[in-house]
Copies of this chain bind each other. A is one copy, B any other.
Amino acid sequence: MAQLHGSLEDQGLSSMTFLNEVAGRYPDAVSFAAGRPFEDDFDPEDIHRYLRAYCRYLAQERGFGSAEVRRTLYQYGRTKGIINELVARNLDIDEDIHVHPEAIVVTVGCQEAMVLALRALKSEGNDVLLAIAPTYVGLTGAARLVDMRVLTVPGGPRGADLEGLAERVREARRAGLRPRACYVMPDFANPSGVSMDLAVRHALLDFADDNDLLLLEDNPYGLFHGENDRLPTLKSLDARRRVIYLGSYAKTALPGARIGYIIADQTVQDAQGHSGLLADQLAKIKSMLTVNTSPIAQAVVAGKLLENGCSLASANDAARQRYARQMRQLLTGLSARFGGASGLPGVEWNEPSGGFFVVLSLPFPADDELLEYSAREYRLLWTPMHHFYGGTGGHYQLRLCVSLVSGPQIETGLDRLHALVHDRMRRATAAAMKDAYNRLEFAPLKYSLTRQ
C-alpha cells in the first residue's frame, strides 16, 4: 500500500467501503443511508424503447441513413459526446441555461465531469480547491486523484458563508496557495439537504468574480424542487462566465446509463493567441481518461429526453412528488418523536423543502461504532456525517436519506431511530452516573446509593 498512490489512503474512501460493507451485512435493515433514486417506476423494456426513439430521431430529424445509424451506435463516437444537442435543448427548457452544444462534454456520470474539471485546473502544486463543508465525497475523491488540496468552509444554514469563503481565499493566498475554483451544490446539497436562497446565489457569483475564481456548480437534485420553489441555477445567472456546470442524469433519467455532462463555455487562449472553449480542453482530458462515453448509454438517455420533448421536469413529476411526500413524512415523524413536549435536549434537524437529505444532530457521537450498533441491534441504517467533513466535524450528526423509503417503512425506521436515541441516551446517562459514583469519595454515601 505504501507504494501505491496516496488517494488510496483517503479517509473518505475507507468510509464508503465501511458504509457499503455494513449495508451489505444487514440487507433487511430499514435504510435511510442509500442515496439511490427510487426504481419501481422503471421497466427494463424502457431501455429498448429509448434506444428505438433515438434511432428514429437520427433517421427522421438528422436524416441519417441506416449505415450512419449503425455507425453511431456501434463505433466509438466523438470524445465530446453525440447527444450534446439534446442536452443543450434539455438545459434550455428545464434550467433556463442557454449554451451552445459545443460548450458541453458528455461524461461517464457526473463523477468524470468533476475529474475533468479538477484535472484541467490543477496545474501547479499550489493550486487548491475551495468547497463548502460538509462536502460531497465524490468531490473530495476526484480532488485526491489529481493531488489537489481541498480547503473547506462551513456552509451554515444558508448553504454558503460568503465572509468565510472570502477570508479563506485571503488566507490561502497569503500562504502562497492559488485557489482556482469553489465547489457548490446550491440545490438540496448532498449531504446537508440545504438549498441556497437567491441572495446567496448572487453573492456567490460576485464573490467568484471579485476573487477571480470559477464556481463548480453541481446540480443533481434541482428538478426535485416544487415548481414554485425553484430558484435559478448559478449557471443561468452566469453573465460573467464564472460557472462550470456539472450535470447528472442519474437521479432524473437513469443511473444505470452513467451519463453526466459538463458545461464549460469559458474562453481559453493558447500561447499563440488562438482562443477556444474550455470544453475543448476538457474533451482532450477525456480523450486520455475514457476516450468517449458509450454511445449506447448516451442513446438510452437521449431516447428518454426525446420521449419527453427534451424536458425531464414533467417526466419527473411523479418522482418529485414521491420524494417530497417522503420528505414531509420524515419531517413530520421526526417532530412527532423528537419535537415539542417529547423533545430531547440536543436532538435537532433541518427542514429541507424537498430533495433527498435531512441532517439530524444528536447530543452524543453519531460515529461508525453507533452505526454498527444501530444496524445490529435495531436494523436501521443511516450515514454518519463526519464522513463528509474529512474528519474535521459532524461527529454528532447523521444524514437521513428519503429516496428509497416510503409509507410504513419510514414510520418503522423512525421508531427504531427513536429507540436507538433513547437507548444511547440512557446508556450515556448511566455511564455518566457510574462515572460520578466512581468519583465519590465519601464511602457512607456510596453505600446508601448502592442500597437504593
Contacts and interface: CB of A to CB of B under 8 A. Distances in A.
Interface string A283-322: 0110111111111110010000000000000000000000
Nearest to A48: B48
Contacts of A36: 75-76
A392 B295 CA distance: 35
A281 B4 contact: yes
Copies of the chain in the assembly? 2
A227 interface: no
A39 to B, nearest CB: 5
Interface in A262-278: 268-271
Contact of A121 (B2, B4, B270, B293): B4
B51 A287 contact: no
A426 interface: no
A330 interface: no
A122 B5 contact: yes
A289 B108 CA distance: 9
Interface of A: 1-8, 10, 13, 16-17, 36, 39, 42-44, 47-48, 51, 55, 69-71, 73-77, 108-109, 111-112, 115, 119-123, 138, 141-142, 144-146, 250, 254-259, 268-271, 281, 284-285, 287-297, 300
Contact of A257 (B44, B71, B291, B294): B294
A75 B8 contact: no
A293 B144 contact: no
A142 B109 CA distance: 19
A138 B288 contact: yes
18 contacts: A1-B269, A1-B270, A5-B119, A5-B120, A5-B146, A6-B123, A7-B119, A39-B71, A44-B69, A47-B73, A74-B256, A76-B250, A77-B256, A111-B290, A115-B289, A138-B288, A296-B297, A297-B297
B291 A258 contact: yes
A122 B285 CA distance: 18
Contacts of A43: 70
Contacts of A123: 2-6
A304 B55 CA distance: 21
Nearest 7 pairs of A and B residues by beta carbon: A141-B288, A258-B294, A108-B290, A294-B297, A256-B295, A1-B270, A42-B74
Nearest to A258: B294
B258 A17 contact: no
Contacts of A39: 70-71, 74-75
A170 B111 CA distance: 40
A209 B109 CA distance: 39
Given A39-B75, A111-B289, A115-B289, A4 B256 contact: no
